[in-house]
Chains A and B, each alone.
Chain A
Amino acid sequence: MKIVVCVKAVPDASAGRRMDASSKRLNRSGELTLSDFDSYAVEEALQIGGETVVLSMGPERAVDALRKALAMGADRAVLVSSDDLAGSDLLGTASALAEAIAKEEPDLVLFGQQSADGGGACLWAAVAEKMRRPAISQVSELTVEDSSITGKRQTEFGYDTIRAPLPAIVAVSDAINTPRYPSLKGIMGAKKKPQETLGAAAVDPGTTVLELSPPPARGDSVKIEDDGSAAEKIVEFLAEKRLV
């Protein structure tokens, strides 16, 4: 089984994620590390077994993040990188990844559930569209059969069980497993594993970022002291907000 795991190198939380005032995007000039959510996808691929290739789009420095996946046990790393790609949004990223994935011809493509820095992006759905293959997201349990996969998908309403034929794209949630710590041998061997860099054509982004501003104040905060009627006042407050 050949699995491609799409990962993202994100600014390390400790370095302090900050917006860059001039580009109005996340300042990515510091240390990059493997997005936490992607570790679950790498772990899942390793548990399934077979050949695991990690794929990422990012600046050259992103190769350090790929190394962590190699240290965990992935076999090969592919970085899609070019100056043109800086500032790509969902469209450009999905295109570039889909192109690189096509070259690999995998049976299964895995994603982590969201990007640790941007939140909310469902890249997998866009990639699945480009590849014209089925996609299942929010998977908290994955079973791989010969030519199909069955995933337990976590939604607001409970769990759906969905099956799709391979090749398929699956985005795993952080409930699916506990990522392994890379062993020392793994860390030291990572450098020797094959890593290649590909270019890709840029795609015009469909979105722009215009302004940064401080967050809106939470709104009027009310503080009361209990005089015996606190419970009633709370219910009133919740009712006004249609929360009860």
Chain B
Amino acid sequence: MSVRPSDFPPPWSPDEAIAAPSDPVDERIDVGICIVGAGPAGLAAAIRLGQLMEEDPATAEQLGDVPVAVLEKGKAPGSHLLSGAVVNPRGLQRLFKGRKRLDEMPFAGHVEAESVLFLTRSKALRIPTPPTMVNDRNYIVSLSRFGRWLAEEAESAGATVLPETVAESLLVDAGRVVGVRTGDRGRGRRGEELSNFEPGSDIAARVTILAEGTQGHLTSAALSHFGMAGEHPQVWALGVKEVWRVAKPLDRVIHTMGWPLRAGRKYREFGGSFIYPVGDDMVTIGMVVGLDYRDASLSVHDLLQELKTHPRIRRILDGGERLQWGAKTIPEGGFVALPKRFSAPGLLLCGDGVGLVNVPALKGIHYAIESGRLAAEAAWRSFARGASQRTVLSSYDDALRESFVWDDLREVRNMRQAFGRGFYIGGALASMQTATKGRFPAGDSPTERDAEQQLFTTSRASSYPAPDGKLTFDKLSSVFASGNRTRDDQPNHIRIQRRVPRELAEMWAHMCPAQVYEVGEADGDGTVEVRLAPSNCVQCGAITAKGGRLTPPEGGSGPEYTVT
């Protein structure tokens, strides 16, 4: 009997992340604008607000003592940022117009040349670069490193960045978002208060901007609570990547398709890999696979390890040393999965959290930055005298729809879904869409929820390479290489059903790049216990796509990325 993860929904409801303010007024923290997430979207918003405050000090006064607060759940800005990445500089140019030049920003390099390869087990065939993927004039970046720089810019511009701070619930009062509540710190495994227990606080803000990135915790609660979710469900891919020091510089940006993914329609294995030079002495290599895959034994981490054994790729890493590892999901629903609206009373939504990602082009960072910039402008206008907040905030929606973000996403809106029909048909459909700039096929192809895919099991796992500790690595040592040193003695932050059919438990165990899930004892009636090691979690979000729910653990937990 075939199992679907969605048949075993997690014990969780979006309402858990909606709350009324509870702190006494003198204990709450008042800020002008509260931004959740110190990623490119959130920091772009903070930087833009800093510019506006400088230009118009009178309005700036209205924002109070702490005009802009940026909450970051990671240990520091950049700790939870992970991407390829090749960035289209458009968003940055608009953000820093007249203030900073591109050559003053910490990019890792320029795209000098690029190749797209179709791989088989032993060969690599160069294929023409699909038009959507051309990266001319684009910059290579370590998003983690770039995020640290953006955070410094935001702080110089007057924002208060608060790391190790989780936004646990959205504060809603009389139908309006009035701020967020931060998470407690110092609870033990059973939720008990430890000796250094520090409760969270209510942060009151006139406008809250959610820039939480993929699987945004408050974002999904808001979409549900305010009825903003789009018609089509969001879908995700899981990316697992490593950063290596290499002996010889890589001269080009490489994308691969084909092996080790299987083209057959039944597998639904959509994705590929990227290999980018990061400066002269480092290379980043990652495997990205859509989470609508159906083989329970698929492990993206192990596919990455397998990928590295390909002769063409092994050569690139020869004589090198792995420096860092990480994993994160990418929203892939694109245009058709966008929310109906991006604003609500007191609330604006940006970036990956609402799925502003161009899947065929593998780009989302410049959209995050642009959406953050536009959100900042709308939030600012709400402080101008005489403005009705409701119309002002919804002007953000208009601005987003008139921006290049919207045009780009609409053009490529059906490409990802095409690949649900297998690699070759998908490829053909995608080409058609590119050639017609999205006009054909007309209409919007629906997305299918990742958790609703029926599972089956093959012997795929038998070809995962045994880790040799030099080229290929096991999951635990990879978690170590993410910088993860999460405090163990804290409550479990993963919501899943703990007794499920064996195949589902095994799927989770293979899926998770950080080895959080383990198949425990069978209980005689076809189900097994699911064992957890939550402190391994690097908060990639894959579980949320595949039948469970990731909630944010204590602030400061998770990976400490620096060069991803």
Contact = CB atoms under 8 A, between A and B. Distances in A.
A14 B562 contact: yes
B326 to A, nearest CB: 12
Nearest to A185: B29
Interface in B406-464: none
A178 B29 contact: no
Interface stretch (B86-94, B192-200, B271-279, B339-347): B192-200
B8 to A, nearest CB: 35
A179 B197 CA distance: 10
B162 A185 contact: no
Given A181-B186, A184-B29, A14 B195 contact: no
Contact of B76 (A31, A180, A182): A31
B201 A188 contact: no
Contacts, number: 44
B66 A181 contact: no
B interface residue count range (under 10 / 10 to 19 / 20 to 34 / 35 or more): 20 to 34
B14 interface: no
**Which secondary structure dominates where chain A touches chain B?**
loop
A235 interface: no
Nearest to B69: A188
Contacts of A12: 76, 560
Contact of A188 (B75, B160, B323): B160
B182 interface: yes
A47 B442 CA distance: 68
B112 to A, nearest CB: 28
Interface string B178-204: 000010011000000011101001010
Nearest to A43: B196
Given A178-B195, A178-B196, A183 B483 contact: no
B162 A184 contact: yes
Contacts of B66: 188
B485 A184 contact: no
A187 B196 contact: no
A13 interface: yes
Contact of A180 (B160, B198, B201, B485): B198
B198 A183 contact: yes
Contacts of A184: 29, 162, 165, 182, 201, 203
Among B66, B160, B194, find the residue whose CB has the most chain A CB atoms closer than 10 A. B160
B196 A16 contact: no
B215 interface: no
A217 interface: no
A82 B238 CA distance: 48
A14 B162 contact: no
A15 interface: yes
A20 to B, nearest CB: 16
Interface string A45-62: 000000000000000000
B229 to A, nearest CB: 31
B198 A14 contact: no
B483 A14 contact: yes
Contacts of B195: 177-178
Given A187-B162, A188-B29, A181 B185 contact: yes
A13 B485 contact: yes
Given A178-B195, A183-B198, A183-B201, A15 B562 contact: yes
Nearest to A182: B198
Contacts of B76: 12, 31
Contacts of B198: 180-183
Interface of A: 12-16, 31, 177-185, 187-188
Top 4 A-B pairs ranked by shortest CB distance? Answer: A14-B560, A14-B483, A181-B198, A181-B185
